[in-house]
Amino acid sequence: MKISRKIQEEKDIQTLIFDNPWLLDLNFERIVSRTLNNGWEVELPFGNRIDVLLKHRIDNRPIIVEFKKGDFYRENIGQLLSYKAAILQEFSNPDSELIEIFGNLITSPILCLVVKNCDDFSRSACHISGINVYEYKNDLKSLNVSASNLIKIENILHDDVIPLSYDRSKNIEQIYQRMHKVIMSMGLNESWKEYTRPHGEYYDPLNHLFINKTIYKSDEMWIGVYEDILDKEGRIAIDFFSYNKELLQKYEKDIIKMPIFADNKCKCHYEGNEFYITFHINKLDFINRLEIILKSILSGFQIIENKHKDK
| CATH number assigned to the domain comprising residue 289 | 3.30.1460
Least confident segment among 85-99, 168-182, 196-210, 212-226: 196-210
One domain for residues 34 and 125: yes
One domain for residues 48 and 122: yes
Residue 303 within a domain: yes
pTM of the predicted model as reported, rounded to 2 decimal places? 0.54
One domain for residues 123 and 202: no
One domain for residues 18 and 58: yes
Residue 116 within a domain: yes
Q: Does residue 179 surpass a pLDDT of 70?
A: yes
Residue 154 within a domain: no
Q: Which of 6-20, 116-130, 144-158, 194-208 has the highest mean pLDDT?
A: 116-130
Q: Does residue 15 surpass a pLDDT of 60?
A: yes
Domain of 57 in residue numbering reads as 4-149
Q: Does residue 8 surpass a pLDDT of 70?
A: no
pLDDT of residue 148: 54
Split at pLDDT 50, 70, 90, the class of 4 is very low
Residue 302 phi/psi, 5-degree rounding, is -60, -40
Instruction: State pLDDT tens for residues 40-85.
Output: 988 876 677 888 999 888 888 889 898 887 788 778 888 888 888 8
